[in-house]
Amino acid sequence: MVDYVVYGRGSFNQLDEILSSHRVEGQPMVFLLDHHFENNDAFKSRIPLRGNDELIIADVTHEPKTSYVDEIASLLKNKFGQVSGIIGIGGGSVMDLAKAVSIMMTNDGMAQDYQGYDLVKKKAVYKVGIPTISGTGAEVSRTCVLTGPTKKLGMNSDFTPFDQIVLDPELIKGVPKNQNFYTGMDCYIHCVESLDGTFLNTFSQSYGEKALAMCQEIYLKKDQWDDNSDEQLMMASYAGGMSIAYSQVGVAHAVSYGLSYLLGTKHGIGNCIVFNHLQEFYPQGVDEFHKMVDKHQIEIPKGVCANLTDAQFDTMIEVSLGMKLLWENALGADWELKMNREKLRSIYGKL
Ligand code: NAD
Ligand code: ZN
């Protein structure tokens, strides 16, 4: 779990103080800033740069790749030897990038060597996550999703969670409507998949139910998005992340990973494209999702697999069936009797 959590409107202003006791003489704090803020001088001036601290603009045009993690880690090792800490400020992509770079500052080899479960051997350098979009739960999770040469899989380990997170709802104010929805629905889908899964336990249920209720409140019940909606979404993301930390996601994520591996479809929108067609697995959740889509007038892309070749379908099916834990959570220990290549092909065909 994350060791320290600071929550509150304006809490970003405490960052200097939070970092001060973690500074090591001669070694910089490295801020990985979402490229969304690249030209926002007012925001950049609030980042507490001291001494030889480094500000790196994180390019999140594509979701993080292992090669990008290696590039940043070797740049920092060559320039500084070691750093005091890595602070990620941005959406889920920057959260994952910051976790991965911090792991690669102390572990040998390449980022792709650690894609999997419990492969990370050494404690990472001090790392802080500061979300500027809420929904993914990446700020609390035990993984950092990366696309490598052969797979899209996180570094899932005890050394992956942040040491500190700063949850300041002010930072997510004004995220464009579509982006807010896609990332917010990631949280909603995490809850549905966790609560409906066979891995469910009281820990996951406690967080999942609360997060689900907050998503329903802000996306269905309320008529206007306001500051309180940002606050609820930020805490829903946290609680939704806590819920899956002790369970797993399910069918939507398993199918959407295949889509994103082949087509580069982003996580939030990819989940929406898939979840839109999963009535068979999550009837109530999908019904409610359709109501949210209508209420917020969101365009969910259709026909994304219309022109794919058989070989491309096979690639997606391969990636998806590889997510064994997700399928087991969704369908039970005998999931292979319930899901097969033909069935998956027909799901991809509908997207
Ligand atoms: P994102 O991080 O990819 O960002 C989407 C876009 O929003 C980017 O263009 C970004 O620059 C921009 N942006 C960032 N802050 C903004 C702001 N305040 N206002 C306006 N735009 C802003 O999107 P996301 O949905 O937050 O994250 C998706 C990523 O999270 C994927 O890489 C996915 O794999 C990962 N993820 C990780 C976990 C985990 O447990 N580690 C869970 C779910 C998803
Ligand atoms: Zn997700």
The string of DSSP codes covering 296-336 is: HT------TTTT--HHHHHHHHHHHHT-HHHHHHHH-TTHH
pLDDT (tens digit, 9 = 90+) per residue, 191-217?
999 999 999 999 999 999 999 999 999
- Using the predicted structure, report yes or no on whether residue 152 has a pLDDT greater than 90: no
- Using the predicted structure, report yes or no on whether residue 150 has a pLDDT greater than 90: no
pTM assigned to the model: 0.96
Q: What's CA 65's distance to the chain center, in Å?
A: 14
Q: For the chain, report the end-to-end CA distance as a whole number of angstroms.
A: 35
Protein residue closest via CA to atom 21 of ligand 1: 175
Distance between CA atoms of 240 and 189, rounded to whole angstroms? 9
Residues in the chain: 351
Q: Kind and range of the H or E element at 34?
A: strand 29-34
User: 230: Cβ below 6 Å to ligand 1?
Assistant: no
Q: Does pLDDT of 5 surpass 90?
A: yes
Atom of ligand 1 nearest to the CA of 145: 34
Checking if the pLDDT of 277 tops 90, the result is: yes
Q: Is 169 in the pocket of ligand 1 (CB under 6 A)?
A: no
Q: Is 139 in the pocket of ligand 1 (CB under 6 A)?
A: no
pLDDT more than 70, % of the chain: 100
Q: Please, what is the average pLDDT of the chain?
A: 97
Largest CA distance in the chain: 60
Across residues 279-297, what is the average pLDDT?
A: 97
- What is the C-alpha separation between 255 and 278, in angstroms, rounded? 10
pLDDT score for 61: 95
What's the mean pLDDT in 274-300? 97
- Compute the average pLDDT of residues 314-327: 95
Which residue, 170, 146, 49, 39, is CA-closest to 95?
146
Pocket test for ligand 1, best of 35, 40, 145, 207 (most atoms within 8 A of CB): 145
- Residues 92-114 have a mean pLDDT of 98
Average pLDDT over residues 321-331: 96
Closest residue by Cα to atom 3, ligand 1, is 93
> DSSP per residue over 44-73, as a string?
HTTS---TT-EEEEE--SS--BHHHHHHHH
With a cut of 90, say whether residue 291 has pLDDT above it.
yes
Task: Determine if ligand 1 sits within 6 Å of the CB of residue 143.
Answer: yes
Q: With the C-alpha atoms ordered 36, 39, 44, 49, is the resulting torsion angle positive or negative?
A: positive
- Between the CA of 93 and the centroid of ligand 1 the distance, in Å, is 5
- Which atom of ligand 1 lies at the shortest distance from residue 244's CA? 40
By DSSP bridging, strand 145-147 and strand 152-156 are antiparallel
Is the minimum distance from the CB of 23 to ligand 1 under 6 angstroms? no
Ligand 1 contact via 137 beta carbon (within 6 Å): yes
Q: Whose CA is nearest to atom 7 of ligand 1?
A: 91
Judge whether residue 102 has pLDDT over 90: yes
Distance of CA 249 to the CA centre of its chain: 12
The alpha carbons of the chain give a radius of gyration, in whole angstroms, of 20
Gap from CA of 177 to ligand 1 centroid (Å): 14
Query: Could you tell me which of 325, 270, 8, 20 has the C-alpha nearest to residue 153?
Result: 325
Kindly tell me if the per-residue pLDDT of 142 is higher than 90.
Answer: yes
Which ligand is nearest to the Cα of residue 170, counting in written order? 1
Rounded average pLDDT over 104-128: 97
Give the Å distances, CA to CA, from 111 to 59, 82, 95, 180: 17, 17, 16, 30
